[in-house]
Chain A
């Protein structure tokens, strides 16, 4: 079965620091990749997604992620974090099977705390 690994469960940074959250997946075929964010007290929302084409994708709020197929990775980055980026971040993978019926496989999440 496919799996998704997020290497950092808890990350604490100061404002303006650079961020990189690691994500690796185990499936060898074609995949769609996602990063979701859950701000305190809010529902999960999509941060960015990769389907095909340029492996560097840009999302909302200055986030970006790079798909490196040879490394089975989809790391999330932001050059300068803000206090409002404090949240839980989830990486997710979908095997490309057409129709999208079988849902996404999620990593365990990374709890990011930004200190002012």
Chain B
């Protein structure tokens, strides 16, 4: 069966420090991968998605970037964190079929101080 893992689960970082959140999917090949940010009262905002290695689409201008170095690995990064980057980040995957159903990881809570 397919599984998705995110780490770290929680992270406290100072303003101006770098960020790296990792996401891996197991049990499937060539998934579509997504990074969402969840903020209280604001729902889920799509940040990035990827349909293949090295292919990244950005949905919203951010202080963040994403990379897909391997088929089942998706990384969310920042060179210098801002206070406004605090939030709950969710990685998700879909098989690329017409179902469109997303499967979510357990999330990474980032606090920028």
Contact = CB atoms under 8 A, between A and B. Distances in A.
B112 interface: no
Interface in A38-81: 42-46, 49, 51
Given A90-B43, A103-B34, A45 B104 contact: yes
Contacts, number: 71
Nearest to A32: B100
Contact of A103 (B41, B49, B98, B99): B49
Contacts of A43: 90, 104-107
A100 B99 contact: yes
Interface size class of A (residues with CB under 8 A): 20 to 34
A99 B45 CA distance: 20
B24 interface: no
Interface in B87-101: 90, 92, 94-101
A43 B36 CA distance: 13
Contacts of A98: 98
Contact of A99 (B34, B42, B98): B98
Interface string A83-103: 000000010101010111111
Interface of A: 4, 6, 9, 32, 34, 36, 42-46, 49, 51, 90, 92, 94, 96, 98-109
22 contacts: A4-B43, A32-B99, A34-B100, A34-B101, A34-B102, A43-B106, A44-B104, A51-B98, A92-B102, A98-B98, A99-B96, A100-B99, A102-B49, A102-B57, A103-B34, A103-B46, A104-B46, A106-B44, A106-B45, A107-B43, A108-B43, A109-B41
